[in-house]
Structure 1
Amino acid sequence: MNDLANGGHQNELSTERRWPAPWAFGVLILPLGMFIGFIWTALPFLLSKSGVSVEQISRMAAILQIPPMLMFLWTPVVDVRLRRRTWLVLAALSAAALVFIACPLIGASNFNVLVVLLFLSGAVLALVYASCGGLMATTLSATGQGKAAAWNQAGNFGGGVLGAALVLWLAQRVSLPSIGIAMAALMLLPALLALTISEPPPISSYWFRGRFAEMGREARAVLRSPRRRWSILLMISPACTCAAQPLLPALASRYGVDAQGVLWNNGVAGGILLAAGSLLGLLVPGDWDRRLTYVGAGLTNAVGAMVLLAPSRPSSYFAGSLIYLLTAGFCQARAVALTLDVVGNDIGDASTWFSALTALSVMAVVSMIWLEGQMYHYFGAHGLLWTDAAGNLLVFAIVVTALLVHSPSHRLSQ
């Protein structure tokens, strides 16, 4: 546990590269962010308007959740044959083509084909996410990684708001094929920035030969490092899961907030605040211990949950949920930074490990959502919110205690 008191990234690159700049990863993730905004906000509205039932739309939403949960099964391809920048552009191009084909099919008559095309789009866009992770891990120093993580999540959330707003605005003015053209163009163009990144050829030249043995060696290297082991434990802990986020709209009626209030508060303002919260990561010095800043972000998120514990009135809901969403963006940025810290710059299969660790953290989120749902069933809204806050408070207390006990003179910038 002594290693918990060590500083952040131990393998600082010898020189700080000027390019790619950290902000570039806020642009490179836009294809994925815009797709998420499209399928979660704009598409359900358009489908409902065209006569598709809510039951069908919910079934589609569940199916489209599968690619991000299982992406670790196919994203290892990003670490072989081609450069990650090339995989990123090819993935964005393929997904843009699929969305272009899918948009004219929005409606009840082609619903099943639409779901298949969007499922494939989500699976392909997982390669964009993995490519970004690998590039951040291998081309940036520790300081640059922290900033890139903030920009990356800001672009993800900001792209979601942009994608949803763009489609809903266009839907009132142009045809579905025209919407497809606009979405495809705006998904592909940001990805082209990747071609400006100077990246060496991949170390792994074969699809499978020697890959599993090499990944086994990398896994042993990760597990031998106490610092990395503690980081992985934090990633599967109740801290920074922000599990109450998808449950907040369901609590709105208890505070006297109607559907219109939820739309503007959790939808429009929420998306903007998630992006703004991600950019708070830019304020965190790059040499601070990422494990401590990770649980610190969770502590700020607990504040939002505790504000929601105030008497049930609209003002409590608006204040609490907005604080919660702002700090959730901050948590997401620090989660990416912590993942990059575990990957380090000494692992050849950087994109593979970035995806696998992300999937691991998603399991923690799903577990907390389930637990908070159970607490709501037995103890109501207060049980849900106290459980959400307690996870962050408990893990923060454990980490700070470990730091104080094992290294009383430790400084964050050490």
Structure 2
Amino acid sequence: MSATSSHRAAHPAVYFVLFAPFSALSGYLAIAAAYALAQAKVPAEAIAGLLAVTFMPHAAKFLWAPVVDLTLTRKTWYLIGCVGSAAGMFITGMTPYRLESIPFLTVVAVTAGIAASLLGMSVESLMAHNTPDEEKGRAAGWMQAGNMAGSSLGGGLALWMMEDLHVSAMLTSSLMAVLTLACAAALPLVREQRAETPAGGFSFATNARAAGRDLWEVACSRMGLLAILVCFLPIGAGGASNLWSVVAPDWHASAATVALVTGVVSGIVSAGGSLLGGFICDRMDRKWAYCLFGALQAVCALAMAAAPRTESSFVVFTTLYALTTGLCYTGYAAVVLEAIGKGAAATKYSLLASLANMPLSWMTLVAGYSQTHWGNGGMLQAEAAIGGAALLVFALASKLAQRRVGPATQPAGVA
């Protein structure tokens, strides 16, 4: 359902503001909290484990997606998610940064991650129902930019306040929580359209069967199979970026540099990479564009491992890495959108997006393990090797599918 012609749709920039809190907590954990934990001599493996669990609720969000669709209103669910995310950030700042706090912080991260998933789904639903078809691409671009900006700016700003301005973690997290809540001020700019409840009422079993049928329709097509494969492969997952604040001292990067580069700079560059990736994907085969982007990120990781350990190297390579991450995220989205076609596109995309968070989680664990056991260079080399192997698997699967099936079969429901 698109916005009616009698109601002028909100400018797509509103989704930048509404979606920013979705990744603000994960950014705070990955940059500000991770840096503080590293300074407290907490092992990188333990920090990576904490960061990895922040992706887990997003890998399982399809289980509670029907609740958002069929109960309350999308704006109500947004407020619930926003408050939960802000509370998670506040509690994280109240907790002492030491090894003994990791189990408690893990519980907070998972709980707040569930709240963030509710916020994300409500924004996606508002966008789908309130944006004219001719503006949905632009709206999605603004939303993705908000996602990356929320993560980079949220964590970078917090670290800058804590390390450069010497603001306490308690006050910093309180201010970040207030900024998170402030994003809800953009809600009145978006029109609410209530979801229609089925005649038989709400049923988890019915919705699960319907979701299963949608996914099966996608899986019956060559492009659909490749899209599902993409979700499980760690191509362009960007796991190392979650540990930049942990490994920064090896490159002699100051807290101010880490805050600036992984915050403001990475937010702007990754958002620009997303826009550039969309431009490229519209001008070449999207599958091979995605492979190209993943290869660029692997090369960037290898180059960073081989480069001199200086602050300037840290700035250059983390910035390039942010650019390739934006490219890869857009490449992934382009492949999946091409595969799911129309029909029940929202349901199918939600399912695939849930699956896609799995490699984000375990690649963060891999980065933490390899950094602890093989050092910072080993972490970057391991990520590049795994990414290269994933690219090879995807390329071979694509060639094999094309040889066996011939021209791509459109998934059921495509107009």
Same fold (TM over 0.5): yes
Give the structure 1 partner of residue 412 of structure 2. Answer: none
Q: Relative to 1, partners in 2 of residues 1:43 and 1:316: Cα closer, same or farther, differing over 3 Å?
A: closer
Shift in CA distance, 303/204, structure 1 to aligned 2, threshold 3 Å: farther
Which amino acid letter does the alignment assign opposite residue 22 of structure 2? L
- 1:192 Cα offset (Å): 3.9
Q: Which residue of 2 aligns with 1:233?
A: 229
The residue aligned with 1:280 is: 276
Corresponding residue for residue 23 of structure 1? 13
- 1:42-72 per-residue CA deviation (whole Å, 9 max, x = no partner) reads 23455678xx662676665455454334333
Map of 1:82-97 to 2, 5 A cutoff?
82-97=72-87
Which residue is 1:182 aligned to?
Answer: 175
Distance 1:299 1:67 in 2: 28
2-side partners of 1:160 and 1:304: how far apart?
Answer: 21
Letter aligned with residue 54 of structure 1 = V
Per the alignment, residue 388 of structure 1 pairs with: 387
Aligned: 1:128 with 2:125: no
CA contact (8 A) 1:302 1:388 kept: yes
In structure 2, do the counterparts of structure 1 residues 105 and 369 end up closer, same or farther at CA, with 3 Å as the change threshold?
closer
Q: Which secondary structure state, in structure 2, belongs to the residue aligned with residue 54 of structure 1?
A: coil
Q: Secondary structure at the match of 2:391?
A: helix
Aligned to 2:42: 54
Partners of 1:308 and 1:249 lie apart in 2 by 15
Among 195, 212, 217, which residue is 1:216 paired with?
212
Deviation at 1:274, TM superposition (A): 2.7
Shift of the 116–389 alpha-carbon distance from structure 1 to 2, 3 Å rule, reads closer
Question: Which residues of 2 match residues 10-409 of structure 1 at below 5 A?
Answer: 19-45=9-35, 54=42, 60-61=50-51, 64-100=54-90, 103-106=93-96, 111=101, 116-140=107-131, 144-171=135-162, 172=165, 178-205=171-198, 206-208=201-203, 210-243=206-239, 245-246=241-242, 257-260=251-254, 263=258, 267-268=262-263, 269-281=265-277, 283-284=279-280, 290-305=286-301, 307-308=303-304, 314=310, 319-342=316-339, 345-347=342-344, 350=346, 353-365=348-360, 385-389=384-388, 391-392=390-391, 395=394, 399=398
CA distance in 2, matches of 1:252, 1:167: 16
What amino acid sits opposite 2:117 in the alignment?
Answer: A
Q: Which amino acid is the alignment partner of residue 294 of structure 2?
A: G
The answer to whether the 8 Å contact 2:152/2:266 transfers is no
Distance 1:238 1:328, change over 3 A: same
> What is the CA distance between 1:143 and its match in structure 2?
6.5
The one-character-per-residue Cα deviations of 1:220-264 (angstroms, maximum 9, x if unpaired) are: 3333444333322333335333455457788889xx733549836
**Could you tell me the TM-score, scaled by structure 2's length?**
0.71
Note if contact 1:143-1:287 (Cα within 8 Å) is conserved in structure 2.
Answer: no
Deviation at 1:124, TM superposition (A): 0.7
Unaligned runs of 5+ in 2: 408-415
- On the 8 A contact 1:302/1:393 being kept in 2, the answer is no
Structure 1 317/142 Cα, relative in aligned 2: closer, same or farther at 3 Å?
A: farther
Amino acid at match of 1:346: G
Q: 2: CA distance between counterparts of 1:197 and 1:341?
A: 27
2:343 aligned counterpart, secondary structure: coil
Aligned equivalents of 1:267, 1:344: Cα separation in 2 = 35
CA distance in 1, matches of 2:307, 2:38: 35
- Kept in 1, the 8 Å contact 2:27–2:154? The answer is yes
The 1-side partners of 2:330 and 2:337 are apart by 11
How much does 1:91 deviate?
Answer: 1.3
Provide the C-alpha distance between the structure 1 equivalents of 2:79 and 2:171, rounded to a whole number of angstroms: 22
Partner Cα separation in structure 2 for residue 337 and residue 199 of structure 1: 27
Letter in structure 1 aligned against 2:358: M
Q: For 1:353 and 1:223, locate their aligned partners in 2 and report how far apart those are by CA, in whole Å.
A: 11
CA 1:397–1:264 in structure 2 vs 1: closer, same or farther (change >3 Å)?
Answer: farther
Structure 1 letter corresponding to 2:31: T
1:331 deviation in Å?
Answer: 0.9
Question: Share of identical aligned residues, percent?
Answer: 27
Indicate if the aligned counterparts of 1:150 and 1:334 stay in contact, CA closer than 8 A: no
Map Cα deviations across residues 278-318 of structure 1 (whole Å, 9 max, x no partner): 33245357697644543343344344246447666657776
- What secondary structure does 1:29 align onto? helix
Segment drifting more, 20-29 vs 131-140: 131-140
2:251 maps to a residue whose letter is V
- C-alpha distance 45-77 of structure 1, shift in aligned 2 (>3 A): same
Shift of 1:113: 6.1
- RMSD (Å), alpha carbons: 4.7
Distance in 1, matches of 2:208 and 2:155, equals 40
Give yes or no for contact 1:48–1:54 (8 Å, CA) kept in 2: yes
Distance 1:319-1:42 versus aligned 2 partners, 3 A rule: closer
Distance 1:252 1:76, change over 3 A: same
TM-score (norm 1): 0.71
Aligned residue pairs: how many? 388
1:316-341 deviation per Cα after TM superposition (whole angstroms, max 9, x unaligned): 77655432331112211332444455
Query: Partners in 2 of 1:135 and 1:194 — Cα distance?
Result: 10
Instruction: Give the whole-Å Cα distance in 2 for the aligned partners of 1:65 and 1:278.
Output: 20
Q: Structure 1: any 5+ residue segments left out of the alignment?
A: 1-10, 408-414
